[in-house]
Amino acid sequence: MTGKYEVIIIGAGISGIKTAIDLYRGGVNNILILEARNCIGGRLKSVKSENFPHVTYDLGASWFHDALANPLFDKARELGNIDYYFDDGELVYFDKDDKTVPSWKFEHITDEIICYISLSYLKDPNKPDISLKQICQEYYEKKHDLIDPDRWGKAIATIRIFGELWHGESWDNLSAKFVFDEDGHLGRNVLVKSGYSKVIQNEMNELPDKFETTNIKLNTSVKCIDYSNDIINIHTGNDSFSCDYVVLTLPRSLYSIDDPNDPSYIKWVPELPGDFKKLSHYFEAGSLGKVVFEFSECFWSETVDRFYALSKQEPKNPNDPQPWDYPTILINYQANSGVPALVALTQNPLSSTIENFDPKTKNERIWQLFQPVIAQISNAKVPPQPINILHTSWNNDIWARGAYCTSKVGCPDSETLTNLFAKGLSNKIRFAGSETVDGSANGCAHGGWFSGQREAKYILDDIAKKL
């Protein structure tokens, strides 16, 4: 199969779909979207519960972040067809020793550590980047005589929870310089109860009905992009297409793959410029993971929105994780959806280890890990076995290779990385994707939407210049 298009978009996630919507609105309708998966949505992936039919779990994005400046949330409100929930009500911190850890025990010290980190790099911008764990140790060496050891242990555990479960990465690898260096969030977080797939559907409704069948080619992975001529040639396994403009919306992690035998590898003709090669190590993603536990009845508080499990120990062997090795957040579906289910958030390397557990004993291993943690929020002496366990597999997903971008030790600032993509390779080779926008939307679903808006505008302006 061959074909000539005005614009080819690679990837049918939120970024690719928004690019198509705005191009279409701007009068460009000779568009083709090539998508490697068998469905649209990319890292927006909702699954219906088999036990509780009215409940949907999101294995990718779950929240509208930046509620004051999120066009996807605004649209959901306007259309009134998406259930959402502000899950920022009652929250409980706990650890192995205490069923409740009051926040006064740690919050002022936690704030001081975060302040210490930013002051360190403000005072000395040339201070070498070290890991989040190392900078916490540095703080402790200087200040331990000022802190009660019990409060220190709890503060450090909360630092770990905030860093690791936002970035999906162990504090051993997170950059001290950039881990808390995000632009302030623009409002609250809103849990999308009806599932992000409805959000994608709301976007698709902006395109003509037949667009999905006529302009999106599923199960089609791009293998080669030849931009050596004015007309760009795009090769998939079996077919070739040509276009005037191409917009790539791949997760950033995929641009770091340089092994031609890797199934996600894309050959560029000519090769991508040196800057991409130089920085490609920092394109790798962290992996926020999720484990869904469904039970036959609720044996924990029905009113708490989230339980924060603090961890004071560290994994001795990442391949053989033990209960309490990692901090986790338990999202209470009894509170937000009225069903006895908890969703645990995980970080790498735990997310990866869970994905790679032997399938025969996987559920048993997962429950061994989480049972003692869930027991701490339980009203029952021994928590009953779950009736179902689901988990994410973003590390092993060849079209994602992790959840989303993170800040690893030694990485450049986020603007350098996003600009590399946002400026494009030329006026014809463009990049969208949630990891190509800077600021608080970076790596988020609405960031993808903004990137599609940006690239469609760029192309429409470029076409207009030639008229």
Ligand X SMILES: Cc1cc2nc3c(=O)[nH]c(=O)nc-3n(C[C@H](O)[C@H](O)[C@H](O)COP(=O)(O)OP(=O)(O)OC[C@H]3O[C@@H](n4cnc5c(N)ncnc54)[C@H](O)[C@@H]3O)c2cc1C
Q: Which residue, 67 or 369, has its beta carbon nearer to ligand X? A: 67
Which one of the spans 55-63, 82-90, 141-149, 171-179 is the region binding ligand X (CB under 6 A)? 55-63
Does position 399 interact with ligand X (CB under 6 A)? The reply is yes
Among 21, 28, 32, 43, binds ligand X (CB under 6 A): 43
Does position 190 interact with ligand X (CB under 6 A)? The reply is no
Q: Which residue, 67 or 444, has its beta carbon nearer to ligand X? A: 444
Q: Is the dihedral of CA 102, 107, 113, 117 positive or negative?
A: positive
Which one of the spans 110-118, 325-333, 364-372, 443-451 is the region binding ligand X (CB under 6 A)? 443-451
Among 20, 31, 36, 157, binds ligand X (CB under 6 A): 36
Does position 60 interact with ligand X (CB under 6 A)? The reply is yes
Determine if residue 204 is left, alpha or beta; phi over 0 gives left, psi from -120 to 50 gives alpha, anything else beta.
alpha
Residue type, 117: I
How far apart are the C-alpha atoms of 269 and 233, rounded to whole Å? Answer: 10
Does position 386 interact with ligand X (CB under 6 A)? The reply is no
How far apart are the C-alpha atoms of 330 and 118, rounded to whole Å? Answer: 29
Among 9, 12, 420, 456, binds ligand X (CB under 6 A): 12
With beta carbons less than 8 A apart as the criterion, state whether 72 and 196 touch: no
- 10 Å Cβ neighbour count for 296? 12
The CB-nearest residue to ligand X is 42
Which one of the spans 249-257, 274-282, 303-311, 373-381 is the region binding ligand X (CB under 6 A)? 249-257
> 177-206 in b/e burial notation, b at 16+ Cβ within 10 A?
bbbbeeeebeeebbbbbbbbbbbbebbbee
Q: Which residue, 132 or 257, has its beta carbon nearer to ligand X? A: 257
How far apart are the C-alpha atoms of 304 and 334, rounded to whole Å? Answer: 9
Q: Which residue, 119 or 269, has its beta carbon nearer to ligand X? A: 269
DSSP-derived letter for residue 430 is E
Among 7, 161, 288, 366, binds ligand X (CB under 6 A): 288
- The minimum distance between CB 447 and ligand X, in angstroms, equals 6
> 402-413 in b/e burial notation, b at 16+ Cβ within 10 A?
bbbbbbbbebbe
Among 392, 395, 418, 453, binds ligand X (CB under 6 A): 392
Does position 251 interact with ligand X (CB under 6 A)? The reply is yes
How far apart are the C-alpha atoms of 341 and 330, rounded to whole Å? Answer: 10
- The minimum distance between CB 14 and ligand X, in angstroms, equals 4
Among 221, 233, 356, 371, binds ligand X (CB under 6 A): 221
Which one of the spans 7-15, 76-84, 108-116, 298-306 is the region binding ligand X (CB under 6 A)? 7-15
Strand order in the sheet with 190-192: 63-64, 190-192, 84-85
- The minimum distance between CB 248 and ligand X, in angstroms, equals 8
- The minimum distance between CB 151 and ligand X, in angstroms, equals 31
Closest residue by Cα to residue 72 from 457, 424, 456, 434: 434
Secondary structure of 248-293 in HEC code, one letter for each residue: ECCCHHHHHCCCCCCCCCCEEECCCCHHHHHHHHHHCEECCEEEEE
- The minimum distance between CB 188 and ligand X, in angstroms, equals 12
Does position 222 interact with ligand X (CB under 6 A)? The reply is yes
Among 37, 160, 391, 408, binds ligand X (CB under 6 A): 37
How far apart are the C-alpha atoms of 277 and 268, rounded to whole Å? Answer: 12
CA 115, 120, 125: angle at the middle one, nearest 5?
130
Of 113-142, binders to ligand X (CB under 6 A) are: none
Q: Which residue, 9 or 176, has its beta carbon nearer to ligand X? A: 9
**Dihedral Cα 257, 260, 264, 270, nearest 10 deg:** 70
Q: Which residue, 121 or 276, has its beta carbon nearer to ligand X? A: 276
Among 190, 344, 390, 444, binds ligand X (CB under 6 A): 444
Q: Which residues of this chain interact with ligand X, rule CB under 6 A?
A: 10-16, 34-37, 42-44, 60-63, 65, 221-222, 249-251, 254, 266, 288, 290, 392, 394, 399-400, 403-404, 433-434, 443-446, 448
